Amino acid sequence: MIHPLDLLDQRNLPAPPEPLPSVVIDSHTHADTTEERSGLDPDTSLALAASVGIAGFVQVGCDVQGSEFAVALAERRPEVIASVAIHPNDAARAGDDLDAMIARVDELAGRGPHVRAVGETGLDFYRTTDPLGHAVQRHSFARHIDIARRHRLTLVIHDRDAHAEVLDVLDAEPAAPRVVMHSFSGDAAIARRFLDRGAWLSFPGVVTFTSAAKLREALRVVPLDRILVETDAPYLTPVPVRGRPNAPYLVPHLVRFVAEQVRRPLDKVCEALLANTHAAFGGPWGHPDAVVPLPERRR
């Protein structure tokens, strides 16, 4: 088997950052898409992540195939839990197949302890622009909320250019047990409205971008016990490796940035992020609680 660092060299992926003082979990990733884009397979990704203090991740499905992949990976790897759903943009394109797709998500949501979340669901008015598409997304979102509620799972919400409408749907439907705003993209006022509804806000690498001043203002008003971090890999790679493919082993860059922004010691921020991720996804899951070094590299 190829050494993880040799794979990074071969694929021109960024070098691993300095390990964190204690472990943190990536609250939202797409290991399947990451492998397609950058050739980093889920097992090597987990080994690299563990070597810098990222003890696991939430593998998020966006369609039936991706949700089945998430469940299979979570059943095989104790560092991984699965989130299952039809993404709002996929829902808008699904046509007559949508109800059967959502029924399959419902089945997967009941598959047992490795499946902890329903998502990513929600509304995307950036990529879906027609009123019919928006109506289909609202219908799909409500169905996913119902699945999360019946199976007692965390609801993982994708909200792009639709903050007010997402809040409307959340207020209109019976509440899911726990709500995570994935790749939160609002300002401080929007953050407060989601916090009022008990949500955790998950911050991606975007928060490190120069252009994201409003998102940093939002981060600074969120109580430390409501902050999560995520890659959304292979997208949204944080500074200083922005522009390269993202993966969970790069999360320490984001965690260090968040600690600076909230002006708390790095070790306290790591402890809080781990506790928050466990709380947001219904309790701890099996993972080492220390940094796991990579094996020696043969020269």
Q: Which stretch binds Zn ion (CB under 5 A): 75-83, 88-96, 204-212, 230-238?
A: 230-238
Residue 124 or 232 having the CB closest to Zn ion: 232
Would you count residue 232 as binding Zn ion (CB under 5 A)? yes
Nearer to Zn ion, 63 or 232 (CB): 232
**Edge-to-edge order in the sheet of strand 80-84:** 24-29, 54-60, 80-84, 115-124, 154-160, 178-182, 200-203, 227-229
Which DSSP string corresponds to 10-39?
A: HHTPPPPPPPPSS-EEEEEE-HHHHHHHH-
- Number of residues in the chain: 299
Residue number with CB closer to Zn ion (26 or 232): 232
Of 62 and 241, the one with the shorter C-beta distance to Zn ion is 62
85: DSSP letter: -
Residues 49-108 that bind Zn ion (CB under 5 A): none
Min dist CB 33 to Zn ion, Å, is 9
Residue 79 or 159: the one with the smaller Cβ distance to Zn ion is: 159
The nearest distance, CB 265 to Zn ion, in angstroms, is 30
Closest CA to 121 of 179, 46, 172, 164: 179
Residue 292 contacts residue 19 (beta carbons within 8 Å): no
**Torsion-angle region of residue 72: left (phi > 0), alpha (psi -120 to 50) or beta?**
alpha
Residue nearest to Zn ion (CB): 232
Binding flags for Zn ion, 183-222, as an x/- string (CB under 5 A): ----------------------------------------
Q: Nearer Cβ to Zn ion, position 104 or 160?
A: 160
Cα 23 to its chain centre, rounded Å, is: 16
Distance CA(276)–CA(284), nearest Å, equals 10
Phi, psi of 161 (to 5 degrees): 55, 35
Interface stretch with Zn ion, choices 5-13, 18-26, 161-169, 229-237 (CB under 5 A):
229-237
User: Least distance to Zn ion from the beta carbon of 96, Å?
Assistant: 26
Q: Is the dihedral of CA 24, 30, 31, 34 positive or negative?
A: negative
**Least distance (Å) from Zn ion to the CB of residue 166?**
15
Scanning the structure block, which residue is given the tokens 């016990």?
Answer: 225
* Contact region with Zn ion (CB under 5 A), list: 5-13, 94-102, 227-235, 273-281: 227-235
Residue 51 or residue 59: which is nearer to Zn ion going by CB? Answer: 59
Backbone φ and ψ for 291, nearest 5 degrees, come out as -65, 130
Binding site for Zn ion (CB under 5 A): 232
